[in-house]
């Protein structure tokens, strides 16, 4: 499994956890059994997921603060899941294994591609704008 596929799986899991309101270890393990066919990206997957789960409140605050008047409750669920994953990669990977940390441009590009693939016609632009604003504020 390539890193892009692992990101896609992470986005789907984040979406599923939100939709089902279930962050239990049982639900996560069931997802991994169904979607993580190859284990070469399992360390990355587990690290990013762990960082997301530990920091989800702060991640949502960052997204809302940088989404120009959009409240999380009004955002498309796909856009929100993609943004949550990308913000985790952009802001919460300090101290993680070097190979798990993505360059800012790569994280944003991957997020925009996921938003275009799974979201609406406007999703790519919305995600790009929010993540671009976050990236600029961090530099």
Tens digit of each residue's pLDDT (9 = 90 or more) over 108-129: 999 999 999 999 999 999 999 9
Tens digit of each residue's pLDDT (9 = 90 or more) over 61-111: 999 999 988 889 999 999 999 999 999 999 999 998 998 999 999 999 999
CATH 1.10.940.10 is the classification of domain 3-138:
yes
User: Is it the case that residue 137 has pLDDT exceeding 70?
Assistant: yes
For Cα atoms 114, 116, 118, give the angle at the middle one, nearest 5 degrees.
Answer: 65
Spell out the residues 6+ positions from residue 64 whose beta carbon is closer than 8 angstroms to its own: 70, 71, 72
Instruction: Tell me the domain boundaries of the chain.
Output: 3-138
Tens digit of each residue's pLDDT (9 = 90 or more) over 13-46: 999 999 999 999 999 999 998 886 666 788 999 9
Cα(124)–Cα(18) distance, rounded to whole angstroms? 20
This prediction has a pTM of 0.94
């Amino acid at each position: 499994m390539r890193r892009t596929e692992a990101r896609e799986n992470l986005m789907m899991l984040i979406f599923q956890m939100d939709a089902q309101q279930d962050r239990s270890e049982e639900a996560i393990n069931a997802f991994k059994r169904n979607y993580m066919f190859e284990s070469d990206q399992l360390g990355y997957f587990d690290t990013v997921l762990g960082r997301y789960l530990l920091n989800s409140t702060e991640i949502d605050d960052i997204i809302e603060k940088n989404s120009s008047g959009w409240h999380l409750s009004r955002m498309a669920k796909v856009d929100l899941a993609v943004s949550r994953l990308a913000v985790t990669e952009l802001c919460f990977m300090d101290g993680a294994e070097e190979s798990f940390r993505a360059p800012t441009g790569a994280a944003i590009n991957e997020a925009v591609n996921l938003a275009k693939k799974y979201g609406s016609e406007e999703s790519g632009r919305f995600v790009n704008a929010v993540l671009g604003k976050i990236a600029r504020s961090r530099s």
